[in-house]
Amino acid sequence: MDKAMDAPAPTRLDGPVEGRLEAWLRAHVAGFEGPARAEKFAGGQSNPTYRLDAASGSYVLRRKPPGKLLKSAHAVDREYRVINALKGTDVPIADPLALCEDDDVIGSMFYVMAFREGRVFWDPALPDLSCETRGAVYDEMNRVLAALHSVDVEAVGLSDFGRPGNYFARQVSRWSRQYRDSETGALPEMDALISWVEANVPEDDGQVSLVHGDYRIDNLIFAPDAPRVIAVVDWELATLGHPHSDLAYQCMQWRLPHAGGLRGLAGLDRTALGIPDEEAYVARYCERRGISGIDHWTFCLAFSFFRIAAILQGVKKRALDGNGSNPQQGLEMGKLIPTVARTALDLIEEDPRA
């Protein structure tokens, strides 16, 4: 990935799709017919994503960003592999159509998948839905997450999709390194959080599943007219790992403030909204997976806060370097890092066992 600095200048994607890209699409995407136009989706800070509207229909193109990148980041080829493997399982995905590993086409690797017409909920409070529908949406998120963690990774060809050994130990090492590589200034809260997670990694209990790595409500596309997930998207961080990491990552939402860019649920009357509390959500997940409970829950949550803070630091660094998908938004997201780290430290301090 470090060779990205020497890649050819990226083909312009916003606007008409022409030249090498159009030729590649005709050759590799079954049934593709131009002319076509590309429009970048406003959301997302990692891999730039575009909607392609062509004579033959609509598609989604997801590319690795140009410029110098952190090692192991933005692996769109891994994204393509995992969604291809999940076809035919109980995990809804947007069908993968073609992968391009030739940087010469648009300046970086990319893949094309089917476009799914549906709803994306950016606010987890779901203000436009009824109380009953909110509960159904959260139950559907829970169902899909349990289905993901129940996938037989050997049967779908993903038994080598992650490294063996203690998942949490590997991830703490990886994201500590990623944070330090993208650090832009001293932050005592992050130093304290990193020290704690490094010192409190639980022993490996042998649980391994396919994990999404960024499982949250705005990475799910719901049907236009029903509380039903029709596609889980943004698989960049997917790997083989501990299933409780995904569950804790989603449950961060209950603890983050609703205002200020973090889009959490803290401070809201969740009972009045029809949204289950964290305890009920976790219990329903455990019921679906046939397990009695979650061990080391405080660590799982603190680890999730630590990892998202490290991810936000990478977003901030790319914005400062001019490589961000949305630089201004990236700088604003970088301001959230102290709040995220402080929330984790407060959580640790509240647990007498921590």
Max intra-chain CA distance, the chain: 63
In whole angstroms, give the CA distance from residue 5 to residue 288.
46
Would you say 203 and 242 are in contact if contact means Cβ atoms under 8 Å apart? no
**Percent residues over pLDDT 90 in the chain:** 75
In whole angstroms, give the CA distance from residue 31 to residue 314.
38
28 against 331, higher pLDDT: 28
Give the per-residue pLDDT at 338.
Answer: 92
- Please state which architecture CATH assigns to domain 131-350: Alpha-Beta Complex (3.90)
Give the per-residue pLDDT at 68.
Answer: 53
DSSP 39-71: EE-S--SSS-EEEEEETTEEEEEEEPPSS---T
Q: How many residues does the chain have?
A: 354
Q: How confident is the model at residue 6 (pLDDT cuts 50, 70, 90)?
A: very low
Give the per-residue pLDDT at 43.
Answer: 61
Q: Can you give the C-alpha Rg of the chain in angstroms?
A: 20
In whole angstroms, give the CA distance from residue 288 to residue 330.
37
In whole angstroms, give the CA distance from residue 20 to residue 109.
13
Residue 354 has pLDDT above 70, yes or no: no
Give the per-residue pLDDT at 73.
Answer: 55
Question: Please, what is the average pLDDT of the chain?
Answer: 90
Domains of the chain, residue spans = 2-114, 131-350
**Percent residues over pLDDT 70 in the chain:** 92
Give the per-residue pLDDT at 1.
Answer: 25
Would you say 60 and 113 are in contact if contact means Cβ atoms under 8 Å apart? yes
- Least confident stretch, 66-70, 209-213, 224-228, 343-347: 66-70
- Please state which architecture CATH assigns to domain 2-114: 2-Layer Sandwich (3.30)
